[in-house]
Structure 1
Amino acid sequence: MKQKKTILGFAMIIHSLYSYAQQPDQEYNHCTLKTRWHSNMEVTPYPRPQLKRDNWINLNGQWEFAITDSADSKPIEYSGKINVPFPIESKLSGVSKKLNPNQSLWYKRYFNIPHQNGKYLLNFGAVDYEATVYLNGKEIGKHKGGYLPFTIDITNFIKNTNNELVVKVYDPTDTGPNPHGKQTLTPSNIYYTPSSGIWQTVWIENVPQSFISSIKTNPNIDNNTINLNINLNSDYKNKKLELTIYIINDGKIINSKSVLVSKGSNQSILSLSIPDAKLWSPEFPFIYDLKVILSENKKKIDEIDSYFGMRKITIQKDEKGMDRIFLNNKYTYNLGILDQGFWPDGLYTAPSDEALEYDIKAIKLMGFNTIRKHIKIEPERWYYYADKLGILVWQDFVNPPQQLPIGSKVEFENEIQETIEQLYNHPSIVLWTLFNEGWGAYDQERLTKFVKKIDSTRLINGHSGEMLYSDNLLRSQPHKPWMNSDIVDIHTYPFPRNTPNLPGKAKVIGEFGGIGVSTYGHQWNDMQGWGYVQANATELKEKYRQMTDSLKILETNGLSASIYTQPFDVEDEENGLISYDREIIKIPIDTLRALNKKLNPFAENTIYSNFHVAQDIDVNDNDNRFNELLAKYNNGNRDSALLRRLVLIATRQKKQDIVSKIGNDYIEILNDPYSFDNLRLIKYITKSPSDKGFRMFLEKSNQIDKILGNYTSSDVLKPIIKKFELPAFKFEPDKNYDWDKILKDVTNKYGEIGEEAALGRIMIEYSGLLQNKPDWEKFGKYYVLYFKKALKHPEYIINMLSWPIFKHINDPETLRFAATVVKYAIDNWDNSPNTIDTYANLLHKTQQTQKAIEWESKALEQIRGTKDEQTYAETLQKMKDNKPTWPQN
């Protein structure tokens, strides 16, 4: 019988399993951090610059909304207003509410149509994740995919006035089969607040019966031509239609062509020459305007404005025979930065179109020529600014869920194809990234070929960070890395390092850096700033200088590109060069540009008039001010901002006596100690029974849990109770405790929370983990007592404790109880094969063998192809033969 799930060590057992998913449904995004565009949101320009029409109606603005259980029919009433297109979790939505996976979000608004000629198309830039659209009471369309646009022909469903538009949204975030990027219901340092619902522009456009539905541009700089695929809708039937294409340079037509649309075909493929073509590049982002007119009997019926850039990207050998990235047949070092596209007030949605443009301008002014757009698809206008301003874009596909649940592969591959089709025409995009650091990776060789087949005009990075270094330790070593990829891509934190040489592939560093520098007063969460390495601003400048020097040396050895993490802080991640609100820059802009010029010769050429990047950071305003600020406190200053900052610095410096003293004073002066923000800080600094916060969480636990989330008070109090009231977790083979007395005393002093803490501690004691002499009878007794109280919020890994119950205990009642405990874990957070296997074995031991066989078969199916497959298969066979799977004495 396998031994893989015996109690493997103290660190594995003492592990919290409750999650942020248990937060309440009140206001969700409590951060008050704003950008400069927060209160200055202008009317959105036409959202699709490469297929632009003049006749459109913008449906952004206030809609009604409601949240229901996902199985419910339409809501009877709508509970409030929401600003579209901002995610419901964001401040700019006006709602800031969480959407749970078992809920649906409903939108409703009314609109009028000025006239009813031709067709009307309803367009959504993006809805995360699944949208069902109703118009005037009828379902008219569905769409899956949280990052991609979709269009519905509403011609046959509209009336002139008072059209009722309803959109139902289901978004499981990271609990379903959908690609979700770095959104999560359990926020951490590198995963962020979800963005559910409508998060890009909604608009209606009026088109003729026959209209231009899409354009595909393929530049060829080697023969100065542009190849065009122009698609029409299928409604023209046997009409005699003519397409006229104009290529325009600075308002002057430099070439044109007219063609008749063939009968029975809705696609025209043609090529136009461009004399002395001007090539697109970051230092010279030249754009040709393109106008396409559809005519019938020489009468214009549809007109599209578009654009394209003449650009070529390849892997070629330089004069030394090294494989390099070549732009327009010229070696170009891709000096890049990892941009995640999050905003403190809008989350996935930028506060305004100007804000979208700001990000790219700021990155160019810092001296970079490349952006890696990290597992997010932006609105079309972001790519328009990338094209117009001139920045190379490495575009990530949005990763599938890491556990690859049923349906996730199909969804991911559909979205790969849709993403390429959607963004194909943008000259700025020069590379597709398939997978990132193993997140949801599968069939890499096949999928890399799949991407190349769809788009052979760009580079493909089959796996960014497939080889990953952290603090000089190699964390992952692939067997056959970068199969079919054009790129050898490693991640190395914090400092850059050399990459392997593989023939025909360019060497790149897909991520490095990550130096965390806090910007006081400009933080998402002043209690939990994070970076791969923490530093102050002065140290950051010197480290960045060292990194650029290292990169320059690596370039001589064949390195073609590097991607620094990152341009802007994102939530708890404070490793950006600019603060999350875009107000503070951590290295002066001129210094950055000068350093980046070592690798990007054009770094200092970019100039934007009347453009403010950010204010320089105050290099002296950091934790080194502690003694100065403490002196103010000792002199009687009790300003709340001063006390908050002092207590946080003292916490980081591990001066717990000062934390408790100043923390108690801080709580004393608060006008509303039970507000969310104040309770969050009190929770963070409460470390002992003498802290005022301890008494608050003990006496007002129900009130606080309603504000901070279920079991928060228990989370705060139990570690303190265990530290100050219970024997420490350590090996004491000759020590005997009167556990009955300890349990009674702690329960009397701290009530149910104390009782639960003591029961858990006693359970671990009798497991034998701490003394190497388990008492299985008592372990089973306290297992039952503990999980009767703590099943929904355990401190310990259920599977690790339930396996010895199966192995060593024969009492039927205890075994049946353990089965219910494990089943609860499976249903709520842990459906791993190990846990399913434990459940199946418990069922088998309690004579529920047929059911056990069904569950062990599920475990075996999940584990197929791994080294454990044979062990699971043997267990399943024993169950089928009705033989014991537990040790026989």
Structure 2
Amino acid sequence: MLDIRRVLASAPKKHTEETLNALMTVWGEALNPSEVLSEHPRPRMKRDNIVVLNGVWNYVMVPFSGASDVEGLAQETIPSRWDGEIVVPFSPEAPLSGVGRTLHPDELLWYKRVVEFPKLAPEQRLILHFEAVDWRCACFVNERLAGTHTGGYLPFSYDITDLLDTRERAEIAVCVYDPSDTGTQLRGKQMLSRGDIWYTAQSGIWQSVWCETVPAAHLEELTLQGDMNGYIDLHARSSVHLENSALSNSRLFDNATLELTLFDADGRNVLETTLPIEKNGEICARLHIDEPRLWSHEAPYIYEALVALHVGSAVDIVRSYCAFRTVKVEADANGVSRIHLNGKPFFIKGVLDQGYWPDGLMTAPSDVALLYDIQAMRAAGFNTLRKHIKIECERWYYHCDRLGMLVWQDCVSGGNSYSSWHTSQKPTLFSFTWARFQDRTKRHQEALSAADANYQQEWTAACHAMVRLLDGHPSVAVWTLFNEGWGQFDAKTAVESVRALDATRPIDAVSGWYDQGCGDVLSIHNYFRPLGAGWRGRHTSNAGHGQKPGDGRAVVISEFGGLAQMVAGHSSLNHAYGYGNFATADEWKAAVQQELAKAESLQGEGLAGYIYTQLSDVEEEVNGLLTYDRKINKLSC
């Protein structure tokens, strides 16, 4: 039975330009602009010689009417006048940046900073890293182009050694173009006219900027991925800068090797091996240890790794880690398809995590803030976080690895402006349409805002890059490809391509509706009907005493709840968006607990898990278990 009153109450409203109430987290209040997110940005690939470049930069926004492709940005002239200072890596729209200004689609955002570097030895290189810049950018070092990048959610790097006028100093300038939701690029939940479930758009540098000194021959990528049987898959890619190098010869990798040593939590050596390097610099190997300690939610056991690349006389030493665990969808003893962790059924008890903050927007104000969210949800009894339509900084996954929090990882959505009818109203009112809307036809792709060929190409490339970036994190358990039809196209082909890259994780092809019968999960959103509706009967077949999926997929309610409770003084607006109407905090708390208990009770009827909406309030949404500023835990107050 559809809850019409709740449907009407949740209808999108006309978005207005209301000013958000000023909210700060305790970490934002304590922020020191000269000591911002100073931790190593890549815990799975750590070297000692790094300099984190977060902190105060110069910035300016300038009118723009030129070519917005990478070639056009590469031709732009570095400004001579600057508007002021910005605290990187917070976007100019974020209060912690110190700017408080929206970048518009007809403007460019420029950054500049002069950096002092440690002196380089003759056979060393200096690599400049950006963890994420939204959306397209060109980077200049000492007024010369270092490189360009397109894509707002993934890291990229430049070797800037040859652009240094001296070995110890450089002026870095970055030019950024971001059309936000006026374009078709991947943008997640950002919108220039925010409101309801859409949040303040942000632009520019929003994750850490840093540099490191490396040998001329060094590792560029390293992934260690273990399974419950003790096998570990190693993939690494090395790079060598040959110019003016004693290493330069036509048979560079003939005697090159990679040494791997694995240590348990007590520091004992459990694996030591030396591997040859292929002619193209790649290293791929399957290794094995006996009786591995397995990683799980209850006991997240981590093995430390020391990796040494030897090419000629050059040695590159990297510290990393890995874990042994297996995640699969398979039938339980009663023939019901469920998610299994290390060979045993594992009921997903998850929370939707948008990864937004009132003072930093998509950038957490500190590393401790990232930890707080994970720990608070673990203490509340949840075992999974669904990272929603966002790729988080790598330190967040590192903390999930250490703390045993499983991650249900979404791809980032994009495309043209979404049709409320096709992505919300029709599937809400008429659930029978969920399995009757094919996403391979041009007409249906247009309806789902996904027909643009450039968008499809960018989505596919970003999806594959996300899988390669995160596949070494044991916490990452499931990939979600599309959500509620936002920019959805050809999910079957997408599943096949992701499976070819990573066959070790289940795939949630389509979360919400417009199921294409592919992937490992039947993924349902249910805010307006009894929780058992939407999969019992239509998507299942009777068998024995219960019901089980008829197509071998696990059934998960991947969004539900969303019960609203505003906390005075801790909300971005004086009105709310969410579901339900509760007179007191105690009534809200009882209703949330009742919803969670209902979902868990469906485990006996074949449900494999749930994702409750959501971890924290975000702007107009007040359906979080925590307030937006993280100062109130509504479940425990």
Note closer, same or farther for the CA distance 1:513–1:409 as it changes in structure 2 (3 Å cut).
same
Aligned to 1:397: 411
Give the letter for the 1:269 counterpart: C
Secondary structure of the structure 2 residue equivalent to 1:228: strand
Aligned to 1:35: 25
> Contact conserved, 2:353 with 2:615, CA < 8 A, in 1?
yes
Aligned to 2:601: 553
Aligned ranges 1:564-575 → 2 under 5 Å: 564-575=612-623
Distance 1:439 1:19 in 2: 19
**In structure 2, which of residues 516, 521, 525 is the aligned counterpart of residue 491 of structure 1?**
525
Q: Radius of gyration: which is bigger?
A: 1
Structure 2 stretches of 5 or more lacking a match? 1-11, 67-76, 242-246, 419-448, 541-549
Secondary structure of the structure 1 residue equivalent to 2:623: coil
Aligned ranges 1:442-841 → 2 under 5 Å: 442-466=489-513, 478=514, 481-493=515-527, 496-498=531-533, 499=535, 500-501=539-540, 502-526=550-574, 528-535=575-582, 536-588=584-636, 616=637
Distance 1:243 1:530 in 2: 54
Q: CA deviation at 1:230?
A: 2.0
Aligned to 1:134: 140
Secondary structure of the structure 2 residue equivalent to 1:275: coil
Higher relative contact order (CA 8 A, sep 6+): 2
Distance 1:104 1:228 in 2: 41
> Contact conserved, 1:400 with 1:409, CA < 8 A, in 2?
no
Distance 1:450 1:29 in 2: 43
Identity across aligned pairs (percent)? 38
Distance 1:518 1:17 in 2: 18
Q: CA deviation at 1:545?
A: 3.0
Distance 1:76 1:121 in 2: 26
Q: Which has the higher helix share?
A: 1
Aligned to 2:5: none
Aligned to 1:306: 320
Aligned to 1:94: 98
Q: CA deviation at 1:241?
A: 2.3
Q: CA deviation at 1:113?
A: 2.2
- Does 2:151 align with 1:145? yes
Distance 1:538 1:280 in 2: 37
Q: Which has the higher strand share?
A: 2
> Contact conserved, 2:225 with 2:323, CA < 8 A, in 1?
no
* Length-normalised TM-score, structure 1: 0.60
Distance 1:162 1:213 in 2: 24
Structure 1 stretches of 5 or more lacking a match? 1-15, 467-477, 589-615, 617-889
Distance 2:524 2:276 in 1: 51
> Contact conserved, 2:600 with 2:609, CA < 8 A, in 1?
no
> Contact conserved, 2:216 with 2:314, CA < 8 A, in 1?
no
Q: CA deviation at 1:452?
A: 1.4
> Contact conserved, 1:497 with 1:554, CA < 8 A, in 2?
yes
- Does 2:273 align with 1:257? yes
Aligned to 2:215: 208
Q: Provide Cα deviations, 1:783-808, integer angstroms capped at 9, x if missing partner.
A: xxxxxxxxxxxxxxxxxxxxxxxxxx
Aligned ranges 1:112-123 → 2 under 5 Å: 112-117=116-121, 118-123=124-129
Q: CA deviation at 1:101?
A: 0.7
Q: Provide Cα deviations, 1:659-705, integer angstroms capped at 9, x if missing partner.
A: xxxxxxxxxxxxxxxxxxxxxxxxxxxxxxxxxxxxxxxxxxxxxxx
> Contact conserved, 1:29 with 1:96, CA < 8 A, in 2?
no
Note closer, same or farther for the CA distance 1:66–1:376 as it changes in structure 2 (3 Å cut).
same
Distance 1:261 1:161 in 2: 33
Secondary structure of the structure 2 residue equivalent to 1:504: coil
- Does 2:352 align with 1:338? yes
- Does 2:284 align with 1:269? yes
Aligned to 2:300: 285
Distance 1:128 1:29 in 2: 23
Distance 1:40 1:244 in 2: 43
Give the letter for the 1:349 counterpart: T
Distance 1:406 1:269 in 2: 34
Aligned CA RMSD, in angstroms, stands at 2.0
> Contact conserved, 1:29 with 1:89, CA < 8 A, in 2?
no
Q: CA deviation at 1:164?
A: 1.1
Q: CA deviation at 1:18?
A: 8.9
Q: CA deviation at 1:162?
A: 3.9
> Contact conserved, 1:316 with 1:323, CA < 8 A, in 2?
yes
Alignment length (residue pairs): 552
Aligned ranges 1:41-120 → 2 under 5 Å: 41=31, 42-43=35-36, 44-71=38-65, 73-117=77-121, 118-120=124-126
Q: Provide Cα deviations, 1:578-599, integer angstroms capped at 9, x if missing partner.
A: 11111112222xxxxxxxxxxx
Give the letter for the 2:184 counterpart: P
> Contact conserved, 1:248 with 1:290, CA < 8 A, in 2?
yes
Aligned to 2:438: none
Distance 1:52 1:578 in 2: 33
Distance 2:461 2:223 in 1: 19
